[in-house]
Each structure stands twice: as C-alpha cells, then as structure tokens.
Amino acid sequence: MSLLKILHYPDKRLHTVAKPVRVVDDRIRQLVADMTETMYDAPGVGLAATQVDVHERVVVIDVSEDKSDLRVLINPEILHYSDDKKTYEEGCLSVPGVYDEVDRPASIRVRALNLQGEPYEFDADGLLAVCVQHELDHLNGKVFVQHLSMLKQTRLKAKLRKEQRELERV
C-alpha cells in the first residue's frame, strides 16, 4: 500500500467526471487499499478516486470513531433521496481547513459493487448519508464548496490562490 497525493481545490482535475469501473480486478483492489491508507492517514472519513487524480467511480468511507467500518463503493449510485433535508457542517480533504454548512437529503438508499464486484445496497442517514453524497459529488466533478453561495466561493478561491502563491515563494 502507498499514500496517494490528494488534489487541492481549485485544481481543475477535481471537476473531472469519473468513468464507471469496467471490471473489479487486482488493480482496483490495490487502488482501494491505497485510497484507504491515504484517507486514514489524512485523516478523513471519506475519499473519492477523483481526489487522488484517478477518474474512476471508486469511493472509500469510514465514519466510525475507531476505523472499524470501512465501506468500499465501486460504481455507486443513489437510488432514493428522502424529501426531508438536514444541514451538516462539511469539510473536505481537497479543501483543507475549510468547513461550512451544506443542506442535503437526510437519508438515502445506495447501490454499489463491493471488492468482489458483487452488487449490494444499503440505507444511510446522518453522517454516513452526508459522506456518501459528498463523495459521489466528487465522482461527478463537484466539490462541496460549490454548494455554497457565489460570494463564499469567490472569497475561498481568492484565499486559496493567495496561500498557494505564498507556498510557491518559499
């Protein structure tokens, strides 16, 4: 296993729409292992392949306190969104240090493939529902800050570009 480099917003590659995985093979299983190690090291509760510049529909999630509930979602899709909404403060490994409230459906039904390429479904609410929706946004080329007002997005981009320029000078 190895740590992967996480892309940082506003990197244009974060807006690439991921393609479906054609076959779950050893290459995909290695990607999952590397993404899992990267997510835990960061530390985070979710990571989409898009964030590590691999544009295939692969997500790893673990919202447990003790890193005991790893979920692998290959070619995930949301089958159902609840009508009721919930607001959560979200952060993102691709937008370090930035947290803001995002309004999303409170519960969802998800279908994905596991590491053996077998389909499975589950219902999610709370933090897991937020995390799944957040990571699937990544697979669709969307970063959570795009849920914020245009004013907040503009300020954030300016701040991050300034920080990047300062880092490049060092």
Please give the positions annotated as active site.
Answer: 135
Alpha helices, DSSP H only, in 3-149?
Answer: 26-41, 126-139
Alpha helices, DSSP H only, in 25-121?
Answer: 26-41
Other beta carbons less than 10 A from residue 24's beta carbon? 19
Exposed (0-12), middle (13-18) or buried (19+): which is 66, by Cβ within 10 Å? exposed
20 cis-preceded (ω within 30 degrees of 0): no
